[in-house]
């Protein structure tokens, strides 16, 4: 597990010692990186922290702020038109690879999500838990694309009531600078919390009993809040992910006959190039 105290200099030195080039987005698929990851699955967190820490010029941030919402809008439209897709890493990986084609640094996050609707809506809080009786589940998935710490293109792939839909955005590109405390109830299901309480496990030990690495991960990749007018969404990372095949081989999901790479080449590249 990556240490909370790790610095940008630490990461650069570590990659250099392992002969891992760091000059282009997506270097997690370099053979030397993959060799380490085969022995240590959590090593991908080093790539994610590198993306977090990497110094950025204002011109780069301006480029990201202009391009990413456009790409998110296009992919959101295609995902809705496709139908039948769920918020999982296979979907978000397509967007990640498209952004890498544009030299935009990013990484995929799996985690929990809590939506607090405004009081006047009288809608109960919605929880998307990552830990349940069956272990880990992909409750939600999004992208970190600094300076955007939440790029959420799959939010509307969840099932929402008509009333709930009025208070959530179709997709989100937010800097999400507000770091917040992740509550146990945000990550562990209500039923599992009740079970632990019934067997007299102290609340402070819930993560220790279920998944101590999750608590450590959250300390390194903290939860963030995104306000949508009077609705507030909490994003709680529990792990990072990355595409495991090149963009050219990501062909299982197609949009009107186009692979995601073809969608990028035919409909996105010309708009942002």
Q: Are residues 121 and 190 in the same domain?
A: yes
d(C-alpha 82, C-alpha 273), whole Å: 26
**Which among 55, 77, 93 is the end of a domain?**
55
pLDDT computed for residue 273 by the predictor: 61
Q: Are residues 67 and 46 in the same domain?
A: no
Q: Are residues 251 and 128 in the same domain?
A: yes
pLDDT computed for residue 229 by the predictor: 86
Q: Are residues 25 and 120 in the same domain?
A: no
| Domain around 8 | 1-55
Q: Are residues 140 and 214 in the same domain?
A: yes
31 token code pair: 């053979």
pLDDT, tens digit (0-9, with 9 covering 90-100), for 21-37: 999 999 999 999 999 99
71: exposed, middle or buried (Cβ count in 10 Å: 0-12, 13-18, 19+): buried
Q: Are residues 124 and 216 in the same domain?
A: yes
Q: Are residues 259 and 194 in the same domain?
A: yes
Q: Are residues 14 and 133 in the same domain?
A: no
203 token code pair: 């609340």
Instruction: Quote the number of domains for the chain.
Output: 2
Q: Are residues 75 and 166 in the same domain?
A: yes
Query: CB count, 10 Å around CB of 235?
Result: 27
**Which among 17, 33, 55 is the end of a domain?**
55
pLDDT, tens digit (0-9, with 9 covering 90-100), for 151-196: 999 999 999 999 999 999 999 999 999 999 999 999 999 999 999 9
Percent of the chain with pLDDT over 70: 99
Q: Are residues 82 and 138 in the same domain?
A: yes
pLDDT computed for residue 136 by the predictor: 78
Q: Are residues 232 and 101 in the same domain?
A: yes
| Chain mean pLDDT for the chain | 94
């Amino acid at each position: 597990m990556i240490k909370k105290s790790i610095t940008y200099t630490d990461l650069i030195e570590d990659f250099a010692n392992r002969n891992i080039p760091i000059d282009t987005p997506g270097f997690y698929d370099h053979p030397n990186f993959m060799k380490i990851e085969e022995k240590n699955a959590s090593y991908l967190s080093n790539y994610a922290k590198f993306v977090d820490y990497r110094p950025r010029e204002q011109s780069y941030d301006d480029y990201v702020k202009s391009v990413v919402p456009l790409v998110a809008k296009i992919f959101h439209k295609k995902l809705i038109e496709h139908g039948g897709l769920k918020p999982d890493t296979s979907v978000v990986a397509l967007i990640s690879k498209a952004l890498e084609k544009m030299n935009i640094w990013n990484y995929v996050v799996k985690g929990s999500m809590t939506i607090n609707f405004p009081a006047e809506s009288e809608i109960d809080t919605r929880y998307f838990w990552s830990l349940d009786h069956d272990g880990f589940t992909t409750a939600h998935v999004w992208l970190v694309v600094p300076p955007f710490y939440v790029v959420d293109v799959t939010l509307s792939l969840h099932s929402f009531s008509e009333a709930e839909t009025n208070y959530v955005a179709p997709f989100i590109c937010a800097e999400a600078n507000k770091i917040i405390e992740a509550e146990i109830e945000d990550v562990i299901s209500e039923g599992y919390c009740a079970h632990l309480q019934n067997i007299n496990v102290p609340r402070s030990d819930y993560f220790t009993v279920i998944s101590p690495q999750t608590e450590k991960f959250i300390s390194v990749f903290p939860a963030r809040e995104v306000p949508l007018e009077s609705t507030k969404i909490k994003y709680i990372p529990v792990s990072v992910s990355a595409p495991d095949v090149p963009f050219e081989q990501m062909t299982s999901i197609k949009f009107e006959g186009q692979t995601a790479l073809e969608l990028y080449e035919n409909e996105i590249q010309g708009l942002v190039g």
